[in-house]
Amino acid sequence: MGLIRYLYKYLYKSYFLSLFFGIFLVSHVKAKEVHEKAGGILSKMFEYQKYYEKYIDEFDANIYIKGNSQVNKKNILSSYAPDFLYLDKKGRNTSVESIIKVHFKQPDFFSHRIVAVNGAKVNIIDIRERVVQFLNHNTYNPKIVDGQILLPWTKEAAKYYRYEYLAQTDTLNHVIHRIKVTPKVESLQLVSGVFSVVDGQWTIYRYDINGKWEFSKFAISTEFGLTGDAFLMPSKTNVYFKTKLLGNETESHYFASFEYTSLKRKQSEQKPGTVNYDLSGYFEDTAGSMPFVGDEMFWQKKGDSIKNTSLPEDSTFTLFGKLLNIPKGIVAPRRFDYNDSEMSYSGLLNPFKLAYSKWDGLVYRQQFHFFKLYETGREVRFAPNLGILFRRKQVYFNTPVYWLFQPRRFGEINFNFGNRNQTYNSKVIDRIMEEVPDSIYFEDLNLDYFQHFKMNLEGKYEICNGLIFKAGVNYDWYIPIRKASGTKSKLWSSHQMSEDVKDLTGGMYKTFTPMIGLTWTPRQYYRFNGKRKEYLGSRFPVFSIEYVCGVDKLLGSNSNYSKIETDIQQKIPVGLMNSFQYYIGTGRFLNTHSVYFANFDYFQRHNFPQSWKDPIGGVFHLLQGEWYDASDSYIQAHFMYEFPSIVLRWFHGVSKDILKERIYVSQLFTPVRPFYTEVGYGVGNFIGNAGIFVSSRHLKYEAVGVKFAFELGR
């Protein structure tokens, strides 16, 4: 009896074990088949990708857009961030209709112009700043939205995604394969969703993807033509945004249909010609003033006309009415357009103007901008700014004025008045050069002897494409601000210091210095935006050189010297989402027959932490400001490697809001700092950038510090 019971239990367990193993084996085999089927379709797509991405050479189209925005939640904080919420001023639901003319040119150059619009201004801004980013792109170009989002159906992007075969359907006598895609790691640059592939043609028929961009979750659904003139071309698109910020929530829906007026396919036997660096007309060019059309009969021809309740208020603005809104800009930045002029103000208490660095502490900045455009293409710009450094209890300001008098040749004259870091002159430099640099402590020396004010008038003009000549005059004066406090120094005794300082601060120093320089970028691409020329980038580095000569006894100048500086910088794409940047510069004072101040233009202390989206520009984050003036020569090198979130992917949930990670290495050589090094690690997204840096002298640890700067509102 016991034997029978044992056999029964054994067979019972064996049955369920076999059943479980069978289910596992079948599911594993099925998953493998699904993976292999998706992989086979992808390999066919990638094989045809290089052909299809250049199949359409050029086209013109009219895009009809109809949309609306709905306010789900709204509180008093909504008025402090209107640009990010795309919220109507009175918090109402709004709607819009618009027609956009689009021109496309290979490989991925678009220009678009709003030719008619009817609806709320907030929706018009939304179309201009967000919607067109998802409409204007080559489907087979891996990156959209100014290179910030990576599409999953290109060969270059495949390593960042996982693919799963779902099913197949029959559509218009074509077999359509549906593939699900998910990112391998959470990132702002990656999307998820489903895309459909046409069997045999291996083209994209439809995609439904979603992701996150800035403060909004988005969803895009686009359908393409299968045959005929609409082959490979989008026929209709739905764009959806859901935005949450400061307890507020809005939803926006836009439908777009495409009407193609011209189409030019690539000639397979076309011989490559000479490279044309003029890309005019192939980049975004939106109208400054909106062409409102309120005629319902006009819109009925394009689609069902929608009732617009906000047009009179949003389309009729007077300068007086806008000035009444200035108090609302105490926190949020404000922008005013009037005729051909534009004014903007950063906001008196705008938290996004805060930044932090080790030596300066908390920094707060105020900015104003005035811009005037003339029919001839000439421009006038006035952009004063002021910054407060709380730890150092100092205020810095600049008042630049620009006049673009020859827009087709970068002919520009600019004037600026401002102040720079407090400094000391070459008499102190000579004493420092005689000592051992490691024994110098600027805190003990108390070297803030002179307040530095600077005024310059400069002009520049393009000699030929990529080569710009510049010349001007600088007038600097240095005002003594205090004497030594008598603290003991590791370099000099307090008695020696007071005597030296008494000699150095005996009067004001002035310098009058003419300047000439050249900037050259080989094979520079450009466009003409109206009558104004704009540079668009090059695959080659940018070279600069500048020569300055001090003139003694002119306008009170008491300095006689010359100075030369030169640099080279470049950004090199590495793969699809990585880049490498470098900046190398050097400078030296020559013929120093008199007292001078070692203020280099390419090597100076930056008091305002800048966004790392800007060029590197030669910045040391932890180098104390006094070292910038302590030598008559320098060599600096800065390197930055930028990559998508890799390190942070190991920390669950952290990388999903990170756009880029960066590694920094900077090196400085001067007679008094022969081997100074900084290394750093930083992260950034659309909100801002933050990083940590470590400095060393002769590879011996010196200091550590952090930095952050907001990106919003720049």
Distances in whole angstroms, Cα of residue 102 to Cα of each of 63, 148, 206: 7, 21, 21
Distance in angstroms (rounded) separating the CA atoms of residues 381 and 401: 6
Kindly report the backbone phi and psi dihedral angles of residue 32, in degrees, each rounded to the nearest multiple of 5, phi listed first: -65, -40
Please tell me the predicted confidence (pLDDT) of residue 90.
73
Kindly report the backbone phi and psi dihedral angles of residue 105, in degrees, each rounded to the nearest multiple of 5, phi listed first: -140, 135
Binned average pLDDT, 10 residues per bin, the chain of 714 residues? 57 55 48 68 86 81 91 79 71 87 78 82 84 81 78 85 90 88 85 92 91 89 81 89 87 92 70 64 48 59 46 38 50 73 84 84 90 88 92 90 94 94 72 58 60 93 96 90 45 40 58 94 87 87 94 81 93 84 93 78 80 70 84 92 72 68 93 90 85 91 89 66
Distance in angstroms (rounded) separating the CA atoms of residues 518 and 292: 46
Distance in angstroms (rounded) separating the CA atoms of residues 199 and 183: 24
DSSP 130: I
Among 428, 362, 427, 463, which Cα is nearest to 708's?
Answer: 362
Distance in angstroms (rounded) separating the CA atoms of residues 160 and 149: 12
Neighbour order of strands in the sheet with 174-183: 109-119, 94-105, 56-73, 248-265, 234-245, 216-224, 204-213, 192-198, 174-183, 161-171
Please tell me the predicted confidence (pLDDT) of residue 308.
40
Distances in whole angstroms, Cα of residue 547 to Cα of each of 400, 441, 565, 629: 22, 32, 7, 18
* Contact partners, residue 250, CB within 8 Å, separation at least 6: 69, 70, 71, 72, 85, 86, 87, 241, 242, 243
Burial of 407 (0-12, 13-18, 19+ CB in 10 A): buried
- For the chain, the residue count is 714
* Contact partners, residue 553, CB within 8 Å, separation at least 6: none
In a 3-state reduction of DSSP, which class is residue 112? strand
Burial of 79 (0-12, 13-18, 19+ CB in 10 A): middle
Among 586, 534, 54, 531, which Cα is nearest to 283's?
Answer: 534
DSSP 271: P
Q: Among the residues of 356-446, which ranges form H helices?
A: 426-434, 442-445
Contact in structure between 597 and 509 (CB atoms under 8 Å): yes
Please tell me the predicted confidence (pLDDT) of residue 393.
85
Distance in angstroms (rounded) separating the CA atoms of residues 113 and 125: 13
Among 347, 344, 355, 343, which Cα is nearest to 331's?
Answer: 347
Distance in angstroms (rounded) separating the CA atoms of residues 496 and 579: 52
Distances in whole angstroms, Cα of residue 585 to Cα of each of 359, 568, 642, 677: 23, 6, 21, 15
pTM given for the model: 0.78
Distances in whole angstroms, Cα of residue 336 to Cα of each of 301, 318, 321: 34, 10, 10
Contact in structure between 713 and 333 (CB atoms under 8 Å): yes
Distance in angstroms (rounded) separating the CA atoms of residues 691 and 357: 10
Contact in structure between 139 and 204 (CB atoms under 8 Å): yes
Among 228, 265, 271, 224, which Cα is nearest to 58's?
Answer: 265
What angle do helix axes 494-504 and 426-434 make, rounded to 10 degrees? 150
Please tell me the predicted confidence (pLDDT) of residue 557.
81
